[in-house]
Amino acid sequence: MQHKKITRTADATPHAAALIEGLRDIGYSLETAISDVIDNSITANAKSIEIISESYSEEPYLAIIDDGKGMSEQELIAAMRPGSTNPLETRREPDLGRFGLGLKSASFSQCRRLTVVSRASGLTSAAVWDLDEVAEKNEWAVQLPDDIDDIPGVEHLGSSGTLVLWEKLDRLGGGISSNLAKRAEVINQRLADTERHLRLVFHRFMEVSKPIKILLNGRKLTPLDPFARKNPATIADPEETVNLSQGSIEIQSFTLPHHKQMSNPDWEELGGPEGHLKSQGFYLYRGKRLILFGTWFGLCRQSELTKLSRVRIDIPNTMDADWKIDVKKSSAQLPPLARDRLRKVIERIQDGSKRTYRKRGQKLVDKDRLPLWQRIQAEGQIRYRPNVDHPIFSEFAESLPQGLRRGFFNCISIAGASLPIETLHADMSGMAEQVMPDQVDEDTLVQAVKSTLTVLRNARKSVDEIVVLMKDVDPFRSAWGDTQRIISHILEKENA
Q: Which residues are paired to 213 by β-bridges?
A: 48
Mean pLDDT by 10 residues, the chain (496 residues): 71 80 85 94 96 91 96 94 55 46 88 95 94 89 92 95 95 78 90 95 94 96 96 90 83 88 90 89 93 90 86 89 77 82 83 53 52 75 81 82 85 84 73 73 86 81 84 81 88 82
The pLDDT tens digits of the residues spanning 437-447 come to 777 788 888 88
What is the pLDDT at residue 229? 94
What dihedral angle (degrees, nearest 10) is formed by the CA atoms of 106, 109, 110, 113?
Answer: 80
Question: What per-residue confidence (pLDDT) applies to 66?
Answer: 97
For residue 76, give the nearest of 38, 120, 37 by alpha carbon: 120
Sign of CA dihedral 85, 91, 92, 95: positive
Strand pairing class (281-286; 309-315): parallel
Q: CATH fold of 235-360, please?
A: Ribosomal Protein S5; domain 2 (3.30.230)
Q: What is the pLDDT of residues 24-74, one digit of tens each?
A: 888 899 999 999 999 999 999 999 999 999 988 889 999 999 999 999 999
| CATH 3.40.1160.10 corresponds to the domain 16-220 | no
Map out the domains of the chain as residue ranges: 16-220, 235-360, 368-495
In whole angstroms, what separates CA 249 from the centre of its chain? 21
Give the pTM. 0.72
Give me the pLDDT at residue 411, please: 87
Task: Give rounded-to-5 percent helix, strand, coil for the chain.
Answer: 45, 20, 40
Instruction: Determine if the peptide bond prior to 475 is cis (ω within 30°).
Output: yes
Residue 143 per-residue DSSP state? B
- Contact criterion met (CB below 8 Å) for 127 and 142: yes
What residue type is assigned to position 47 of the chain?
A: K
* pLDDT value at residue 143: 94
Per-residue model confidence (pLDDT) at position 83: 66
pLDDT at 341: 83
- What sign does the dihedral 176-180-181-187 (CA atoms) show? positive
Listed in sequence order, the residues at least 6 apart from 482 whose beta carbon sits closer than 8 Å to its beta carbon are: 442, 445
Distance separating alpha carbons of residues 486 and 495, to the nearest angstrom: 14
> Amino acid identity, residue 203?
H
